[in-house]
Amino acid sequence: MNYYPHPAEGLDLKEVNAAIEEAFAEHGRGKVQMPAKLYTYFEHGDFRTMPGYIPSMGMAGVKIVNVHPGNRAYDLPTVMALTVIIDIDTGIPLAILNATKLTDLRTAAAGAVAAKYLSPQRSITLGCVGSGRQAQTQVRAIAEELEITEVLVWSRNSNNAEDFCEINRDLECRVSGIERVAGCDVVVTATPSRKPLVMGEWISDGTHINAIGADATGKEELDPAILNRATVIVDDPAQAVHSGEINVPISKALYNEKMIAGTLGEYVLGHKQRKNQDEITVFDSTGLSIQDLAIAKIAISGKDSIDLPFS
Amino acid sequence: MNYYPHPAEGLDLKEVNAAIEEAFAEHGRGKVQMPAKLYTYFEHGDFRTMPGYIPSMGMAGVKIVNVHPGNRAYDLPTVMALTVIIDIDTGIPLAILNATKLTDLRTAAAGAVAAKYLSPQRSITLGCVGSGRQAQTQVRAIAEELEITEVLVWSRNSNNAEDFCEINRDLECRVSGIERVAGCDVVVTATPSRKPLVMGEWISDGTHINAIGADATGKEELDPAILNRATVIVDDPAQAVHSGEINVPISKALYNEKMIAGTLGEYVLGHKQRKNQDEITVFDSTGLSIQDLAIAKIAISGKDSIDLPFS
If asked whether residues B99 and B123 sit together in one domain, one would say no
Say whether both A143 and A219 belong to one domain: yes
For the annotated catalytic residues of A, the residue numbers are 63
**Could you tell me which residues are beta bridge partners of residue A63?**
A50, A83
B288: nearest Cα among B145, B126, B18, B106: B106
* Active site positions of B, annotated: 63
pLDDT value, residue B222: 97
> Given a cut of 90, is residue B106 above it in pLDDT?
yes
CATH number of the domain to which B238 belongs: 3.40.50.720
Looking at residue B72, which CATH number applies to its domain? 3.30.1780.10
Residues of chain A contacting B42 with CB distance shorter than 8 Å: 53, 60, 88-89, 91
The reply to whether A174 and A243 lie within a common domain is yes
Q: What's the pLDDT tens digit per position in A34-81?
A: 998 999 999 999 999 999 999 999 999 999 999 999 999 999 999 999
Q: Are residues A303 and A283 in the same domain?
A: no
pLDDT digits over A219-243, tens only? 999 999 999 999 999 999 999 999 9
Residue B86 and residue A67: Cβ atoms within 8 Å? no
Average pLDDT in the B82-103 region? 98
Residues B86 and B64 grouped into a single domain = yes
Strand-strand pairing, A281-284 and A208-211: parallel
* Cβ-defined contact of A310 to B98 (cutoff 8 Å): yes
Question: Which of the four pLDDT bands, split at 50, 70 and 90, describes residue B311?
Answer: confident
In this predicted structure, what is the pLDDT of residue A302? 87
Decide if B38 and A53 are in contact by the 8 Å CB cutoff.
Answer: no
Question: What mean pLDDT value characterizes chain A?
Answer: 97
Residue B302's pLDDT is 87
> Do the chains contact at B74 and A89, CB–CB below 8 Å?
yes
Residues A279 and A299 in one domain: no
Nearest CA in chain B to A52: B40
Q: What are phi and psi of B144, to 5 degrees?
A: -75, -20
- Helix and strand numbers (H, E) in chain A are 10, 17
Give the tens place of pLDDT for each residue, B269-278.
999 999 999 9
| Confidence at residue B199, expressed as pLDDT on a 0 to 100 scale | 97
Question: Per the CB < 8 Å rule, is B76 touching A92?
Answer: yes
Residue B100: closest C-alpha in chain A = A311
Residue A112 to chain B, least CA–CA distance (Å)? 26
Structure confidence at residue A276 as a pLDDT band (50, 70, 90) = very high
The predicted-structure confidence for B187-238, as pLDDT tens digits, reads as follows 999 999 999 999 999 999 999 999 999 988 999 999 999 999 999 999 999 9
Please tell me what DSSP assigns to residue B145.
Answer: T
- A154 and A48 housed in the same domain: no
Average pLDDT over residues B16-23: 98
Is pLDDT above 90 for B45?
yes
Calculate the alpha carbon distances from A70 to A45, B162, B237 in Å.
8, 59, 35
Q: Which chain A residues are within 8 Å of B89, Cβ to Cβ?
A: 42, 44, 68, 74
User: Which whole-number Å values give the CA distances from A95 to A199, A263, A296, in the listed order?
Assistant: 44, 30, 9
- Mean pLDDT value of segment B98-102: 98
Considering its fold, how many domains does chain A have in total? 2
Optimal mutation site among A6, A38, A304, interface B, most CBs of chain B within 10 A: A38
Q: Is B205 within 8 Å of B231 (Cβ atoms)? A: no
Sheet strands (E) in B155-264: 173-175, 186-189, 194-198, 208-211, 220-222, 231-234, 262-263
- Which ipTM was obtained for this model? 0.94
Q: What is the pTM of this model?
A: 0.94
Neighbours of A196 (CB within 10 A): 18
Region for residue A54 given its phi and psi (left: phi exceeds 0; alpha: psi -120 to 50; beta: otherwise): beta
Is the model's pLDDT at B39 over the cut of 90?
yes
For residue B81, pLDDT over 90 is answered with yes
Do B176 and B98 reside in the same domain of the chain?
no
Cβ–Cβ under 8 Å, residues A177 and A202: no
Half-sphere exposure of residue B274: CA atoms within 13 angstroms, side-chain side: 20
Contact A300, A4 (CB under 8 A): yes
| Percent of chain A residues past pLDDT 90, beyond the cut | 98
Which among B33, B44, B64 has the least Cβ separation from residue A86?
B64
Residues A279 and A248 grouped into a single domain: yes
For residue A175, pLDDT over 90 is answered with yes
* Per-residue pLDDT reduced to its tens digit, A72-105: 999 999 999 999 999 999 999 999 999 999 999 9
pLDDT at position B27 is 98
CB-CB under 8 Å, A76 with B90: yes
Compare CB distances from B74 to A42, A71, A90 and report the shortest one's residue: A90
Residues A113 and A93 grouped into a single domain: no
Q: Which residues of A touch B32 (CB under 8 A)?
A: none
Q: Which domain holds residue B14?
A: 2-103+290-307
What is the rounded distance in angstroms from the CA atom of residue A104 to the CA atom of residue A58? 23
| Among chain B residues, CA nearest to A38 | B35
Residue B188 main-chain phi, psi, to 5 deg: -110, 125
Contact A65, A99 (CB under 8 A): yes
Whether B187 and B301 share a structural domain: no
Query: Beta strand pairing status for A306-307 and A208-211?
Result: unpaired
A142 SS3 class? helix
Residues A65, B90 contacting (CB under 8 angstroms): no
A205 and A183, same structural domain?
Answer: yes
Strand order in the sheet with B306-307: B38-41, B46-54, B59-67, B79-86, B93-98, B2-4, B306-307
For residues A284-304, average pLDDT: 96
Determine the pLDDT at residue A311.
87
Q: Which residues pair with A173 in a beta bridge?
A: A151
- Return the residue of A nearest to B75 by Cα: A90
- Which of A33, A53, A74 is facing B90, going by the closest CB pair? A74
Tell me chain B's radius of gyration from C-alpha atoms. Answer: 19
- Mean of pLDDT over chain B: 96
pLDDT for the residue B104: 96
Q: Do B64 and A62 touch (CB under 8 A)?
A: yes
- Provide the b/e sequence for B14-34 (b: ≥16 CB within 10 Å): eebbbbbbbbbbbbbeeebbb
pLDDT band at B288 (very low <50, low <70, confident <90, very high): very high
Strand partners, B81: B65
The pLDDT of A270-292, averaged and rounded, is 97
